[in-house]
Amino acid sequence: MFATHPNLIVMSPLLQTVQQWIDSAAKVVALTGAGISTDSGIPDFRGPKGVWTRNPAAEKQSTIHTYLADPDVRKAAWRSRLDHSAWSAKPNGGHEALVALERRGKLHALVTQNIDELHQQAGQSPERVIEVHGTMRRVMCWSCGWRAPMQDALERVRAGEEDPPCTHCGGILKSDTISFGQALVPQVIARAMDVAAEADLLLAIGTTLQVYPVAGMVPIAARAGARVVIVNDQPTPMDELADAVLREPIGSVLPLICGVRAA
């Protein structure tokens, strides 16, 4: 299942060192952001090809206050959910490398800011995945808390309901994700901080590490004595806390350092 990634890179001394750190680690905690899913065809938000860069109205749709207040915002949100790139996306070599790490018995937990469930689709055990921003593959009723598969709601949109209400109470349905202006789930965040403190190696992948409280996992892990490895194509505010910063493409570098394939 681990297809060779087209962008082969050379094993440098730094990559070799990181690979050895992972080999000797017992409790790796991975933290992933949008950068791990761009190879699967899911655009990030604020990059040059980002969703909000190209369509500033999309950012408004993801604000909880406008979503709840304005039926037109909800109708637009349902239309854009219909043809979201995630429905046809497949996990890539980066996701698969983290599955391999779990099978080697080294992955303590995987905290993700992504809502696409590609980690689970790649074969990651759901109980190891901590989704700090929820999942777009489920809907939640804003009134009664009822949850259901997103595809069921999208079926209703295709059948003509522009803003399908909760089938139990008639309340407003939204993807089960954390929108702007919406509070994070305290228990989920607490779990993310706990696993950061328990890590012996924190691997931050494809995240700009600018958004708290999740970015705080890095100093928590570092203070607890974990090695910190950052894999991201842009500098992050946490780079100076890292033992290694890797700028290579995620889909190429993760299989190498996670021991999926030799250089």
**Is 141 an interacting residue with respect to Zn ion (CB under 5 A)?**
yes
Q: Is 147 in the site for Zn ion (CB under 5 A)?
A: no
Contact between 167 and Zn ion (CB under 5 A)?
Answer: no
Distance CA 258, CA 251 (A): 11
% helix / strand / coil in the chain, to the nearest 5? 45, 20, 40
Which DSSP string corresponds to 95-161? HHHHHHHHHTT-EEEEEE---S-HHHHHT--GGGEEETTEEEEEEEETTT--EEEHHHHHHHHHTT-
Site string for Zn ion, 90-129 (x = CB under 5 A): ----------------------------------------
Of 141 and 229, nearer to Zn ion (C-beta) is 141
How many residues bind to Zn ion according to rule CB under 5 A?
8
Among 3, 8, 82, 169, which residue sits at the site for Zn ion (rule: CB under 5 A)? 169
143 binds Zn ion (CB under 5 A): yes
Interface with Zn ion in residues 38-97 (CB under 5 A): none
Q: Which residues contact 139 (CB under 8 A, 6 or more apart)?
A: 147, 148, 149, 150, 152, 153, 173, 174, 175, 176
Site string for Zn ion, 183-202 (x = CB under 5 A): --------------------
Enzyme catalytic residues:
133
Q: Which is nearer to Zn ion, 11 or 144 (CB)?
A: 144
Calculate the alpha carbon distances from 231 to 3, 11, 175 in Å.
20, 15, 29
CA distances from 109 to 38, 83, 106 (A): 22, 31, 9
The distance of closest approach from Cβ of residue 138 to Zn ion in the complex, given in angstroms and rounded to an integer, is: 14
CB 174 → Zn ion: shortest distance, Å?
A: 11
Q: How far apart are CA 205 and CA 93, in angstroms?
A: 13
Contact region for Zn ion (CB under 5 A) — 76-84, 131-139, 142-150, 247-255? Answer: 142-150
Closest among 23, 10, 63 to 246, alpha carbons compared: 10
Report angle CA 254, 256, 259 to the nearest 5 degrees: 100
146 binds Zn ion per the rule CB under 5 A: yes
Q: Could you tell me which stretch among 20-28, 155-163, 165-173, 231-239 binds Zn ion (CB under 5 A)?
A: 165-173
Please, which residue, 169 or 224, has the CB nearer to Zn ion? 169
Residue choice 11, 14, 26, 144 for contact with Zn ion (CB under 5 A): 144
Binding site for Zn ion (CB under 5 A): 141, 143-144, 146, 166, 168-169, 171
